[in-house]
Amino acid sequence: MSSTTASALKDAVEAVTVPRLEAAVQGIRQVSQKAAGWLTDRIEAGVPAYSDERNSWWRVPWALTLAGERSIAAGVLAWAESEALTDEGDLKPGPYGGSDERTPVYQLTHLALAAHLLDRFDLSARIYQRVLTYWNHDEGGAYTYHDRRDGQVDWLLTAQVGLVAVALGDTAVRDQAYAWYRQMWDWQPALDDLVLVTGRDADGLRTAPATGAFNLDRVDFTKPKELYFQPGAAAAFLAEYSAQTGDRDAVAIARGLMKLNVEGTVEQIADPESVHACKFPWGAAELSVLDGEFDWAPYLVLFAEWFADRQEDSGAWSPSAFTLTKPATDADRMWKTAEHLMEVQKISAGLSARLATLR
């Protein structure tokens, strides 16, 4: 069913057949190649374009590694180690992205994952040790701010730390991240209304009305222009946790989170100004080989087509237009294209695995 005639995301999917899977696999590979080409064209001897202006490159090494461009990814990582990171593995201030207010957990965890995949275990360990200085070792969760105001911890950052903990074998932090999400799931007050509360501080869930333009603490999946990516990132971690530990409850929680997207508005993919559903297929891909109670393949096909439709002729993607105050620049496109390249690689792997089981 077309997204133009659907009301919920689940209404936009169609039955999966071998020919449709084959077409989706071929299509997503072409999408990936175009995106990787766009990124590599903007890297010269390891130096990413626009790096003297801002950090729009933090996702690039991880994405290019997944896309098979290991040598270029290794060059960017070596440049980052030399120019952008402190000896302790933190981001330097200025254009490299170090901030006096928000913690650099998001950027650093992407770099740690890239370093791990590129066999730079020394660098991944150094960055990860720095990340752990921003971790709540008592209750779990990654701190949002340097000053730890109100004990605020961030949903998305916590998923990223959990993913690195899985990769690097830190079972203590891995288990603590899982316990954090399990508790957040148990605390949810409005799941039947398709509302997910993601904010948390020292007092528990953050349910007060948002004061800024975006509500970082709450996602309403019945409304347009919400932060639909929150379940997908958590589901990716929960799936990897389950794969490593055998804990089936983690899959059930991940499925429950992702069902908010499934039951939510089709505006997640139909709104031309939003790409905030982009992490949903990441979670779906991770779950597709583990979850025997729900078929995620139709959603992987749907999002393979969605990424292709949203990709610009150049091979790049732009951020959600409604989040920008002016038209997207190539610096904006760099971080968004790297993100989407990672996601389409996950889709490609999930689709290929499903296709192999049907032949």
Q: What are the extents of the domains in the chain? A: 9-358
Find the largest Cα–Cα distance for the chain: 55
Q: Is the pLDDT of residue 5 over 90?
A: no
**Over pLDDT 90: what percentage of the chain?**
94
Q: How buried is residue 54: exposed, middle or buried, by Cβ count under 10 Å (0-12/13-18/19+)?
A: middle
pLDDT at residue 28, rounded to an integer: 98
Q: With beta carbons less than 8 A apart as the criterion, state whether 233 and 282 touch.
A: yes
Q: How buried is residue 8: exposed, middle or buried, by Cβ count under 10 Å (0-12/13-18/19+)?
A: middle
Beta sheet of 153-154, edge-to-edge order: 142-143, 153-154, 200-201, 204-205
Residue 23, token pair as written in the block: 């077409």
Interval 165-204: pLDDT, tens:
999 999 999 999 999 999 999 999 999 999 999 999 999 9
Residue type present at position 152? Q
Q: What is the mean pLDDT of residues 88-98?
A: 95
Q: What is the mean pLDDT of residues 21-47?
A: 98
Q: What is the mean pLDDT of residues 127-142?
A: 98
Residue 227, token pair as written in the block: 């932060």
* Residue 81: strand, helix, or coil: helix
- Average pLDDT of the chain, as a whole number: 96
pLDDT at residue 149, rounded to an integer: 94
Q: What is the mean pLDDT of residues 238-258?
A: 99
Could you give the CA distance from residue 235 to residue 256 in angstroms, rounded to a whole number?
Answer: 9
Q: Is the pLDDT of residue 134 over 60?
A: yes
Report which DSSP code applies to 265: B
* Residue 204: strand, helix, or coil: strand
Q: Which fold has domain 9-358?
A: Glycosyltransferase (1.50.10)
- Any bridge partners for residue 276, and if so which? none
Closest Cα to residue 48, out of 35, 58, 37, 33?
A: 58
Sign of the CA dihedral with 98 first, then 279, 264, and 141 last: negative
Interval 105-131: pLDDT, tens:
999 999 999 999 999 999 999 999 999
Q: Is the pLDDT of residue 3 over 90?
A: no
* Residue 301: strand, helix, or coil: helix
pLDDT at residue 275, rounded to an integer: 98
Measure the CA angle with vertex 201, ends 180 and 226; round to 5°. 85
Could you give the CA distance from residue 355 to residue 16 in angstroms, rounded to a whole number?
Answer: 10
pLDDT at residue 232, rounded to an integer: 99
pLDDT at residue 4, rounded to an integer: 62
Strands (E), the chain: 43-44, 47-48, 142-143, 153-154, 195-197, 200-201, 204-205, 218-220
pLDDT at residue 65, rounded to an integer: 99
Q: Which residues contact 104 (CB under 8 A, 6 or more apart)?
A: 90, 91, 97, 98, 134
Residue 97, token pair as written in the block: 């992205």
Interval 257-302: pLDDT, tens:
999 999 999 999 999 999 999 999 999 999 999 999 999 999 999 9
Interval 298-328: pLDDT, tens:
999 999 999 999 999 999 999 999 999 999 9
Separation in Å, CA 87 to CA 90, 161, 229: 7, 20, 33
pLDDT at residue 1, rounded to an integer: 46
Q: With beta carbons less than 8 A apart as the criterion, state whether 212 and 233 touch.
A: no
Torsion from C-alpha of 290, 194, 228, 27, nearest 10 degrees? 50
